[in-house]
Structure 1
Amino acid sequence: MSKVQLYVYDLSNGIAQRMSLQLTGRQIDGIWHTSIVVFGKEIFYGQGIDITAPGRSHHGQPLRVFDLGTTAIDEETFNEYLDEIREHYTADKYHLLDFNCNSFTNDCAAFLTGGSIPDFIKDLPSDFLSTPFGAALRPTIDAMYRRPGTTPSQLPTPAATPNPELTASILQAVAARAQQDMQPPSSGTPLQATQSLAGPFHPVTNSASFQNALRTHKAVVVNFSNLITCAPCRQVAPVYEQLAHEKGTKTSGGAGAAFIKIDLATPSGNALGSEWSVRVMPTFMFFLDGKKISEMKGADTNELRSQIDLLLFQAYPPHSHTSLTLPAMQALSLNPILFTQVPALDTVYSKLSSFIDSAQWPANSTQTQADVKQVLSTVVLPYLKSRSNTPPASANPMILVSWANTTLTLVQGLPMESVFPLVDMWRLALLDSAVGTWCAATAQSAPNTTPINIFLSKVVSALPKAPRPYLLTLLRLLSNAFSSPVLAPQLLIGQTRNLVTAVLVPTLLHEDATVRTAAASLVFNAAAFLQKGRVEAVRNGGGSEKKNIEDEDWEIEMVSAVVEAIDREKTNEDVVHRLTACLGCLLRLSPFHETQISPLLEVLQAKTILKGKLAKGGCGETGVSKKDVRKLVEEVADKLCP
């Protein structure tokens, strides 16, 4: 008996944790390298299979250590297993994303314990590649393995990324650590790992790892083949890899199959083939929830595609709304409603300056009134004016840190009715993508210091009697925050979502029509952001692209609030339009529609309320008058409400 441990290292040296959100729109805490520690040795895959004393590899001390259990396998048997798979885990097959150290440790863990390495490590490549940044970076990473003699410093710069120079430097740093002590092959032959477009494959070399793959994935496609002796196997291999790329497991999307290749030319692969009675090459097997549901022999690529599509349909049945014809909903633009009007900035600053001069300044403040005014006049005001240049200027982090600190001082030192000019300045700033990215990154490390949370916390305690100018500018600021794809998700998770909701729900019913319009814009932006993710996920084969922001309780609260706001809105057709569009986005493709939302809509009499907006007196004297708005109201009422 020996304890089995997993040593975890971060190839990015902390860069991924700090920079991933602004580059990918998703928090990635590390680019993981792992090794197996058993029988007093640390074993890892790099330039082939390497063995060293625990903690003595070129990666240094591990960042984390996971206990994977104990093994009943003796050391001699394990060494025989390593000898057998050495021909599988060779230096020329290594690929940073598709076939790496984590593939090796997952195989070893299965052989030794019957288990697997943690999902957050195992599924990181497909999660990363599902982002626009990952897709843009993929050709550069492939080029690293395709070009003989290429070193990290010679890698091409990825062009279609948010920050090409930064991206290149991060990639070079990660590649250098991943390939340390690894020499490129001397021949001009492309590496096997990138001869064709590789998808999210799950390498399997033994029965235990095969069973683990079946246990941990809802849908699994298995290819038993021998590329050395079988011509049909070689013929179908590129198609199989392409299908894996198109239909493979997408961690963030929640749908797709795990694609497995079992090499019958190896002793372990041949043993697996015998275990599953494989007599013909290639043979494809299809598993759903761990059970084999079908099998296909031969290299018929059309049949292979059909079988995979059928498997995915059974595993992830389409949402009932996908069969509906919704022309009015489909004609909706899901781009956020933004408030872009630029006021006279000198006037805004003068008003705020007068409020600062007349305020009773806190004695314990770290900034004096003069300090605050200097930051606003010499840093913030010039930056905001430069936004009117062609092309508009972008903020740098030094400006934003200084401004955020001053914002906290002002919010603490001024009464709420005097802060709205400052809120309006941030409203304009959030139209700058650099500001949205900075706010999103700051929200990860210190959420209470972001201007959005500072402003929200200030107003929540004063609801529902907060000053109208403050409420109005805050709602417009929050609407503009949805212009940033990396900041938008932060508004819909955790404490920030709770604060946004606390402000949003009462302002949908505010007595002032301008405030109601801004609130309707904000709630539409939130619902449209959800809808974009759902539509994208359906196009990718199912699931919800933004599972981390889907929340049943929050959606129930929003549907209730929006239906009530539609019911009460008797005068403003623009508000009815935005609220109805929002309701349609909340309902269409909702994962909670059948279980919770549909019964709620019946209780709320949503269909009757919507139809009432079309009748006399429902909204204005004659009801909703614009043709496109009437079509949208009818469609949401008749097709999305029970």
Structure 2
Amino acid sequence: MTKVELYVYDLSNGLAKQLSRQLTGRQIDGIWHTSVVVYGKEIFYGQGISITEPGKSHHGRPLQVVDMGETAIDEATFEEYLSEMREHYTADKYHLLDFNCNSFTNDVVGFLTGGSIPSWIKDLPSDFLSTPFGAALRPTIDNMYRRPVPGATPTPPAGIAQSAANAAAASPNPQLAASLLQAVAAQAAGGQQLPTPSPSGTSTPSTQTVAAPIHMVTNPASWHSTLKSHRAVTAFFTSATCGPCRMIEPIFEEIARNKTQGRSPGQVAFAKIDLGTGMSSQVASEYGVRVTPTFIFFLDGKKIHEMKGADGPELRTQVDLLLYQAFPPHPHQSLSLPAVESLSLNPILFQQVPAFDNVLNKLNGFIEASQTWPSAPSKDHVQAAFTKVILPYLKARFPSTPEAQKKATPAVPATTILLNKWAEITGVLAEALLPAELFPVADLWRLALLDEVVGGWAAAANNVPAGSCDPVVTLLSKAALTADDPKARNYLLVVLRMLSNAFATPSLARRLLTQDSTLREQLTSFLVRTLLHDEVAVRTAAASLAFNVAAYLQKLRVERVRSGGSIDADGGDGDWEVEMVSAVVEAIGRETQSEEVLHRLTACLAFLLRLSPLYEEHLGPLLEVVQASSTLKGKLEKGGCGENGVTKKDIRQLITEVAEKLCP
């Protein structure tokens, strides 16, 4: 028996652990490279299959050594296996995400021990691609590993430019991310020059990299690992001498790419099994496969269908049928919901431009009257910052009248220096002024968040410099402490409108709802309380914020359905969704004055319920307990909302549809 070890390296040399949350919103501890150590040799894949003395590769000392057990296979048999693998794991097929060193080590470990490498290594590409930044960078990474077509006419690489633009929108620091990506790619390539991107965006069939999430299976162990770790699996049995296999292969890769997009790891896998490679013939024998191409479809590890031949339409049909069985559509997808579907998913924004000079005069009065002002910065310093820096930007960016628009000077850019300074004095004012005196500050931020540059900065404002503050968190925290104070009515109103405007920038909305759980809890608690406020204007603003929250969530799920992904991919948050639905139903029950508030609350409820992966297990039973359907229908009757109940036709239609079709 011979010991088998897995050497684990971090291609980012610690940068991923330091910067991943900033760039992707998710903690990634390393960009893992692995090699197998056995028979006194270290074997790895990069520029083809390489062999060196343990710890002597260009990667240096391993970060971690994982014991993979022992093998009874003799060295001569293993050398024969590697010889076959060299025809499969060639340098031109290497891909940083899809076909890399970890694909190779997983196959080798499977051959030697019958096991597989740890899931935290195997699942890293899927974890990265599930982030907005990872999805945006995918085209760029693919281009790095795509070979040019001989004789093709070069065309401008528009796809690269577009993916870079998408990455810029998805990350607060795309330049840093690009540098990290290049460093990782260079390490992965072993210090060699990367393949030249193809200007035409195409590649030759003979050197085309595996640019789709396809599992390359070369032995029974790796096959059974794939089968065990995925709910739905489509296996493509092929061979190098099979002409029809080459015809159907591009279709198989396209289906694999489309059907795995947006799905969580462990849901769907597409496996390619070349009968002439490694021990793949044993996998074929297990299922009696004697001809190629053959496709076998598995659900929960069990074979449910087999298809022979290169029939593209039939292959698409069988894959769709497999995924339908594995992930049946949400029950609401089959419902006719014209009133709900006609609702806009765009956020409700508060875009009124205030009289800036009046706002500044009001704020200056509060500053002058403050009895708790800190020693530094001085009142004069803060007032000068508003007068000379902040208001000039706002007046140029948001002209208040047509005349002002004509006379407006070129917009002052919202630079990081300006915003950091503004955030710093916001923190000072939040400490020195009473909540009732802070509404001018919140109102100016409310308007500024309509600027996508400011929204993008605020999305990363948890990284503000020392001595500054995160204005969204600071102003929300102050409002949450005074939600029941009648004197703070104006401040509550403006903060709700400010938070609504935060949804003008997707990255900031993502931070509020998915990236920062503490911030989401604080926002939700504040929202739940203000939905029941005595003042109708406050309830209107709160209902608008609730609508924006639900519309953002609904948009994510609709896009996932349209792309062929699973609604269950986001998993949902049971406790949070139950809290939101409970609060909205209660607010609907108490609303007897404003049809507009009722309209926004009902739309919010519709978005929270429709396509929720938690509907049957959590939300449906809750709706029955709180009698949501009868509560909604009660709004249509006399006294339900106003003297005669809801009178506007479109609101009545929406309430009826939600009550009868989405509430049990």
Q: TM-score, normalised by structure 1?
A: 0.89
User: Residue 118 of structure 1: CA displacement?
Assistant: 4.5
User: What are the residue-to-residue correspondences of 1:53-202 with 2, within 5 Å?
Assistant: 53=53, 56-60=56-60, 64-65=63-64, 67=66, 69-73=68-72, 76=75, 78-119=78-119, 121-126=121-126, 128-129=128-129, 137-147=137-147, 157-160=160-163, 161-162=165-166, 163=168, 166=175, 172-182=182-192, 190=203, 195=208, 198-202=211-215
Corresponding residue for residue 540 of structure 1: 563
In structure 2, the CA distance between the partners of 1:240 and 1:390, relative to structure 1 (3 Å rule), is: farther
2:445 to 409, 426, 435: 426
| Residues 21 and 486, structure 1, Cα contact 8 Å, conserved in 2 | no
Query: 2:86 is aligned with what amino acid?
Result: R
Distance 1:318 1:267 in 2: 39
| 1:89-144: CA deviation from partner (whole Å, max 9, x where unpaired) | 11111123321223223323434454444545434444555667656644444433
- Rounded to whole Å, the distance in 2 between the matches of 1:61 and 1:586 is 50
Give the letter aligned to residue 654 of structure 2. Answer: L
Q: Which has the higher mean CA deviation after the structures are superposed, 200-209 or 158-167?
A: 158-167
Aligned position for 2:15: 14
- Deviation, 1:80, is 4.5
Distance 1:453 1:583 in 2: 26
- Do structure 1's residue 417 and structure 2's residue 417 form an aligned pair? no
218 and 384 in structure 1: CA distance in 2 versus 1, 3 angstrom threshold: same
- Distance in structure 1 (CA, Å) of the matches to 2:418 and 2:59: 37
CA deviation after TM superposition for structure 1 residue 30, in Å:
6.9
For 2:401, the equivalent position in structure 1 comes to: none
C-alpha distance in 2 between matches for 1:111 and 1:461: 61
Counterpart contact for 2:146–2:195, Cα < 8 Å: no
Q: What residue number does 2:153 align with?
A: none
Measured at CA, do residues 321 and 562 of structure 1 come closer, stay the same or move farther in structure 2, by a change above 3 Å? same
User: Corresponding residue for 1:324?
Assistant: 335
Secondary structure (helix, strand or coil) at the match of 2:43 reads strand
The 5 Å alignment of 1:256-295 reads 257-295=268-306
Out of 311-320 and 200-209, give the one that drifted further.
200-209
RMSD: 3.4
**2:351 pairs with 305, 315, 340, which one?**
340
Matched with 1:382 is 392
| 2:601 maps to 1:579 | yes
The question of whether the paired residues in 2 share the 8 Å contact of 1:424 and 1:477 is answered with yes
For 2:647, which of 603, 625, 628 is the aligned residue?
625
TM-fit CA distance, 1:242: 0.9
After superposition, the Cα gap between the structure-2 partners of 1:66 and 1:496, relative to the gap in structure 1 and judged at 3 Å, is farther
Aligned residue for 1:606? Answer: 628
Contact 1:443–1:490 (8 Å) recurs in 2: no
**2 CA distance for matches of 1:576 and 1:245?**
43
Q: Is the 8 A contact 1:145 1:194 kept in 2?
A: no
Match of 1:230 in 2: 242
Structure 1 residue 559, shift from structure 2 partner: 1.4
Q: Secondary structure at the match of 2:519?
A: helix
* Greater Cα offset, 107-116 or 319-328: 107-116
Give yes or no for contact 1:84–1:268 (8 Å, CA) kept in 2.
no
Within the alignment, does 1:404 sit opposite 2:404 as a pair? no
Tell whether 2:257 aligns with 1:245. yes
User: Aligned equivalents of 2:367 and 2:409: distance in 1?
Assistant: 33
Say whether 1:5 aligns with 2:6.
Answer: yes
Report the AA paired with residue 506 of structure 2. P
CA distance in 2: counterparts of 1:519 and 1:243, whole angstroms: 44
Tell whether the 8 Å contact from 2:47 to 2:90 is kept in structure 1 after alignment: yes
Could you say what secondary structure the match of 1:517 adopts? helix
- Confirm whether residue 219 of structure 1 aligns to residue 218 of structure 2: no
Asked if the contact 2:144/2:195 (under 8 Å) is kept, the reply is no
Q: Does 1:450 align with 2:470?
A: yes
Amino acid at match of 1:145: Y
Aligned ranges for residues 290-309 of structure 1 at < 5 Å? 290-309=301-320
- What is the CA distance between 1:68 and its match in structure 2? 5.3
Do the aligned residues in 2 keep the contact of 1:507 with 1:516 (CA within 8 Å)? Answer: yes
Secondary structure of 1:294 counterpart: strand
Q: Spell out, residue by residue over 1:141-177, the C-alpha distance to the aligned partner (whole angstroms, 9 max, x if none).
A: 4433334599xxx987423524398476665444434
Distance 1:325 1:282, change over 3 A: same
In the alignment, is residue 484 of structure 1 matched against residue 487 of structure 2?
A: no
Q: Report the residue type matching 1:382 in the other structure.
A: P
Q: What's the CA shift for 1:194?
A: 6.5
Shift in Å, 1:191: 5.8
Which runs of no fewer than 5 residues in structure 2 stay unpaired? 151-155, 399-407
Matched, 1:470 2:471: no
Shift of 1:212: 0.8
1:217/1:257 contact within 8 Å kept: yes
Question: In 1, distance between residues paired with 2:241 and 2:92?
Answer: 21
Distance 1:41 1:415, change over 3 A: farther
What is the aligned residue count? 631
Name the SS for the 1:487 alignment partner.
helix
User: How big is the shift at 1:202?
Assistant: 1.4
TM-score, normalization: structure 2? Answer: 0.86
Aligned twin of 1:367 = 377
CA–CA distance in structure 1, aligned partners of residues 206 and 161 of structure 2? 20
Question: In the alignment, which residue of structure 1 is the partner of 2:405?
Answer: none
Query: Given the alignment, which residue of 583, 586, 593 partners 1:564?
Result: 586
Letter in 2 for 1:489: R
Name the CA distance, whole Å, in 2 between partners of 1:6 and 1:433: 45
In structure 1, distance between residues paired with 2:446 and 2:130: 31
Q: 1:393 to 1:445 in 2, by over 3 A?
A: closer
2:215–2:271 CA contact under 8 A, matched in 1 = yes
Instruction: Give the CA deviation at 1:190.
Output: 4.2
Change in CA separation of 1:21 and 1:220 when aligned onto 2, cut-off 3 Å: farther
CA contact (8 A) 2:262 2:565 kept: no
2:495 is the counterpart of 1:459 = no
CA 149–185 in structure 1, closer or farther in 2 if over 3 Å, else same:
farther
Contact map agreement 1:107 1:206 (CA 8 A) in 2: yes
The one-letter code matched in structure 1 to 2:69 is T
Unaligned runs of 5+ in 1: none
1:521-551 per-residue CA deviation (whole Å, 9 max, x = no partner) reads 0111111111112222223345337726x21
Assess, with a 3 A threshold, how the Cα gap between structure 1 residues 80 and 344 changes in structure 2: closer, same or farther.
farther
| Aligned-pair CA distance for 1:320 | 0.7
Give CA-to-partner distance per residue, 1:236-266, whole Å, 9 cap, x none: 11111111111126445x7862111111122
Distance 1:119 1:395 in 2: 44
CA deviation after TM superposition for structure 1 residue 359, in Å: 1.4
Report the alpha carbon displacement of residue 376 of structure 1 after superposing the two structures with TM.
Answer: 3.2
Deviation larger for 343-352 or 118-127: 118-127
Change (3 A) 1:393 1:222: farther
How far residue 218 of structure 1 moved from its aligned partner, in angstroms, is 0.8
The structure-2 alpha-carbon separation of the partners of 1:404 and 1:445, relative to structure 1 and needing over 3 Å to count, comes to closer
Classify 1:267/1:7 alpha carbon distance in 2 versus 1 (closer, same or farther; 3 Å): closer
444 and 560 in structure 1: CA distance in 2 versus 1, 3 angstrom threshold: farther
Is the 1:36–1:105 Cα contact (8 Å) retained in structure 2? Answer: yes
Letter in 2 for 1:429: A
Measured against aligned partners, the alpha-carbon deviations of 1:412-457 in whole angstroms (never above 9, x if no partner) come to 2222112121111221222222333233234479999422222222
Task: Give the partner amino acid of 2:192.
Answer: M
